[in-house]
């Protein structure tokens, strides 16, 4: 009896709590919806908020990724040396093969897009994949790449961290069901934050995202990308410190004749970058033709890599320690020259066989060895000149990457920020620009875009042929717009709907100024509620989004998609009350088809 009364009392308390909580829950849900709706319609606040979130994620992602690499390096080489002590120094041959086996299994069975250097996959998602990157890519890419690098794979950190951070941005966009353009911005924020945090270089991260990932510079991208890169850098510096990636000797431009030599170095760097690209993808073709199971191929590549690393351990991993020794003149010129070709081969074996990692660090390594060799040659030919091989090594690092990636601005800024030496900027600009121009004459594709072209995807042509970005709203909008006055009754507006077959009207005030939009749904809902005598001002939508005549059809279509509406008023850029037209989905399709027919006729002619 007592138990029954207790249970009844508990039920009464729960019922009372529910009754009291329901209004609170209702208000909370209402305000949450309003906040989310505001974020969706207020583009600036929305982008800045999520750019911060992505920057934090990218910063901690870079820290975690570096910790994972250190963990696996200790596991494979320190612990592995103990376990394989019976092999003596030959244990290093086995380590990359073991790592390759683990990488091959993870890639094949869990996330095949984690194979390779990562950046092309992000570029493809931005260009053609609806800006969607599978959420588990971030976790799998971090795991696979850290195992590959930790077991001696001759690859870098930048490709993985770009893919990891971009996956965070894409996942956030998918979670909130954002438009494709906003997801593209979030992906770019991820790429910028990842590069900035990994290399302690916020400017380089910003321009890498704009120059390589988006391949365009737009004001709607810039502020968000900047904020993400800065946030990621702050997080990274808090935990990893703010020291430059390399400690370099002081540089002085002693003679204007030095600039001529840097011009020549830029040309040589372009040829070297082109060879790197060719050998990398030739190696990939060779492994594709090997008739063994795909997940075993990284093990074969690792075995060959380990054999080379037995005699030249400098090729293992990211290689920053060897780069710093070269910059400070602590390696012999013959070894440095040999490492140019050996690093190209080692990276090609790692990635060609199915490993996972970036090409940025290998490009820096190859460029450093090339530049140092060139500087040593100049010193031999012109002993009276004050030539510093370390300075040429520094410039060579940027020049090879600039040519291979066809990204001169990113290369200049990355090396400038990684060294913190402004005096090197002039030779950097000369060598990077020359390298980029020469390689563009040799090859239309960069080391990133060629991977996509080999799959039959011409990402450069896709960008050129996007008609939706070429046609302006002013060319597709309806200029003769039927409007209603804000004092018009709902029943009269309903009659206008039937007589015109329109689905909605702009609402103007007595001075002809735009006040809102009323749709067929608004009018039908009012009729069904017996409110036909209300004025349209009482049921219209006043929280409008606008299009401007100089925007593109792509911009207009994305705005239509954001609210799932069929029409948007077109107003003057500096006067939102001055209605000049109406853009609709039907008008966009008609303008697109007309332009498509024009271009088809020109091609046939």
Query: How far apart are alpha carbons 344 and 401 in whole angstroms?
Result: 13
pLDDT above 90 (res 342): yes
Do residues 366 and 337 make contact, with C-beta atoms less than 8 angstroms apart? no
User: In b/e form, how buried is each residue of 125-149, taking b as 16+ CB within 10 angstroms?
Assistant: bbbeeebebeeebbebbbbbbbbbb
* Least-confidence region, from 306-310, 466-470, 505-509, 545-549: 466-470
Mean pLDDT over each residue of the chain, to the nearest integer? 82
pLDDT average, residue stretch 425-451:
89
pLDDT reading at 38 higher than 80: no
Give the residue with greater pLDDT, 202 vs 134. 202
User: What is the reported pLDDT for 27?
Assistant: 53
Asked whether residue 110 carries a pLDDT value surpassing 50, the answer given is yes
CATH number for the segment(s) 257-463 = 1.10.3080.10
pLDDT of residue 603: 44
Angle at the Cα of 546 from the Cα atoms of 32 and 582, rounded to 5 degrees: 130
Rounded CA separation 390/230 (Å) = 30
Residue 489: predicted pLDDT: 86
pLDDT given at position 218: 65
Question: Domain 468-604 is classified in which CATH homologous superfamily?
Answer: CBS-domain (3.10.580.10)
How high is the pLDDT of residue 436?
A: 94
Question: For residue 369, what pLDDT band results from cuts at 50, 70 and 90?
Answer: very high
Range in 306-315, 525-534, 566-575 the model is least confident about: 525-534
Per domain, the residue ranges of the chain are 40-240, 257-463, 468-604
- Per-residue model confidence (pLDDT) at position 567: 84
List the single range of 250-254, 272-276, 464-468, 519-523 with lowest mean pLDDT. Answer: 464-468
In degrees, to the nearest 5, what angle opens at C-alpha 93 toward C-alphas 92 and 94?
Answer: 90
Element (H, E) at 83: helix 80-83
pLDDT category of residue 18 using cuts at 50, 70 and 90? low
pTM of the model: 0.74
Which of 224-238, 463-477, 583-597 has maximum average pLDDT? 224-238
Task: Give mean pLDDT, residues 209-219.
Answer: 77
For domain 40-240, give the fold.
Answer: Clc chloride channel (1.10.3080)
Q: What Cα–Cα distance (Å) separates residue 351 from each residue in 202, 281, 302, 393, 431?
A: 27, 9, 10, 25, 27
Report the alpha-carbon distance of residue 33 to residue 53 in Å, rounded.
20
- Please state the separation of Cα 288 from the chain's center in Å: 28
> What pLDDT score was predicted for residue 604?
45
Q: Is 169 left (phi over 0), alpha (psi -120 to 50) or beta?
A: alpha
Q: Tokens 């320190």 label which residue?
A: 78
Angular region, 154: left φ>0, alpha ψ -120 to 50, beta rest: beta
Question: Comparing 29 with 381, which gets the higher pLDDT?
Answer: 381
For position 541, what pLDDT does the model report? 83
**DSSP character at residue 131:** T
The two domains 257-463 and 468-604 share their CATH topology (first three levels equal): no
Q: What is the pLDDT of residue 389?
A: 85
Q: To which residue do tokens 């040593």 refer?
A: 376
The backbone torsions φ and ψ at residue 184, rounded to the nearest 5 degrees and listed phi first, read -60, -40
CA distance 270 to 276: 10
Whether the predicted pLDDT of 119 surpasses 70: yes
pLDDT computed for residue 605 by the predictor: 46
Average pLDDT over residues 415-433: 82
- Position with higher pLDDT, 238 vs 125: 238
Higher pLDDT, 44 or 496: 496
């Amino acid at each position: 009896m007592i138990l029954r009364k207790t249970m009844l009392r508990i039920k009464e308390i729960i019922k009372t709590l529910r009754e009291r909580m329901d209004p609170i829950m209702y208000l909370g849900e209402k305000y949450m919806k309003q906040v989310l709706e505001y974020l969706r319609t207020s583009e600036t606040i929305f982008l800045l908020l999520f750019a911060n979130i992505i920057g934090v994620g990218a910063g901690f992602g870079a820290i975690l990724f570096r910790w994972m690499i250190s963990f696996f390096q200790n596991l494979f080489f320190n612990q592995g040396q103990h376990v394989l002590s019976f092999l003596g120094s030959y244990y290093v041959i086995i380590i990359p093969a073991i790592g390759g086996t683990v990488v091959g299994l993870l890639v094949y069975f869990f996330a095949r897009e984690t194979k390779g250097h990562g950046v092309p996959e992000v570029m493809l998602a931005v260009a053609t994949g609806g800006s969607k990157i599978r959420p588990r890519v971030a976790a799998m890419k971090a795991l696979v790449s850290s195992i590959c690098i930790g077991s001696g794979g001759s690859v870098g950190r930048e490709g993985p961290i770009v893919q990891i951070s971009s996956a965070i941005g894409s996942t956030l966009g998918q979670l909130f069901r954002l438009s494709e353009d906003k997801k593209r911005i979030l992906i770019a924020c991820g790429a910028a934050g990842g590069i900035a945090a990994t290399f302690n270089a916020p400017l380089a991260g910003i321009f890498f995202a704009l120059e390589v990932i988006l391949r365009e510079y737009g004001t709607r991208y810039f502020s968000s990308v900047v904020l993400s890169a800065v946030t990621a850098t702050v997080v990274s510096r808090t935990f990893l410190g703010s020291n430059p990636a390399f400690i370099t000797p002081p540089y002085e431009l002693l003679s204007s004749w030095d600039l001529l030599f840097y011009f020549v170095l830029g040309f040589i760097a372009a040829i070297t970058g082109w060879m790197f690209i060719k050998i990398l993808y030739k190696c990939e073709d060779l492994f594709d033709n090997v008739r063994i199971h795909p997940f075993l191929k990284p093990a074969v590549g690792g075995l060959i890599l380990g054999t080379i690393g037995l005699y030249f351990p400098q090729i293992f991993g990211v290689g920053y320690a060897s780069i710093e020794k070269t910059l400070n003149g602590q390696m012999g010129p013959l070894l440095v020259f040999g490492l140019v070709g050996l690093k190209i081969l080692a990276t090609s074996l790692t990635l060609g066989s199915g490993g996972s990692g970036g090409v940025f660090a290998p490009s820096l390594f190859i460029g450093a060895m090339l530049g140092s060799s060139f500087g040593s040659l100049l010193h031999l030919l012109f002993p009276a000149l004050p030539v510093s091989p370390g300075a040429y090594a520094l410039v060579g690092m940027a020049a090879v990457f600039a040519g291979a990636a066809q990204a001169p601005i990113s290369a200049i800024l990355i090396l400038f920020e990684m060294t913190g030496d402004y005096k090197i900027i002039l030779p950097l600009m000369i060598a990077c620009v020359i390298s980029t121009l020469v390689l563009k004459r040799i090859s239309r594709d960069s080391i990133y875009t060629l991977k996509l072209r080999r799959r039959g995807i011409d990402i450069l042509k896709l960008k050129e042929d996007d008609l939706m970005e070429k046609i302006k709203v002013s060319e597709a909008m309806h200029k003769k717009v039927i409007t209603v006055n804000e004092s018009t009754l709902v029943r009269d507006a309903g009659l206008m709907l039937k007589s015109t077959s329109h689905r909605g009207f702009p609402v103007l005030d007595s001075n002809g100024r735009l006040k809102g939009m009323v749709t067929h749904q608004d009018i039908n809902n009012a009729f069904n509620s017996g409110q036909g005598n209300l004025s349209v001002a009482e049921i219209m939508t006043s929280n409008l989004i606008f299009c401007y005549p100089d925007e593109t059809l792509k911009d207009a279509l994305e705005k239509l998609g954001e609210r799932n509406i069929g029409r948007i008023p077109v107003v003057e850029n500096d006067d939102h009350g001055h209605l000049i037209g109406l853009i609709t989905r039907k008008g966009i399709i008609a303008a697109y088809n007309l332009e498509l027919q024009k271009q088809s006729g020109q091609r046939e002619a």
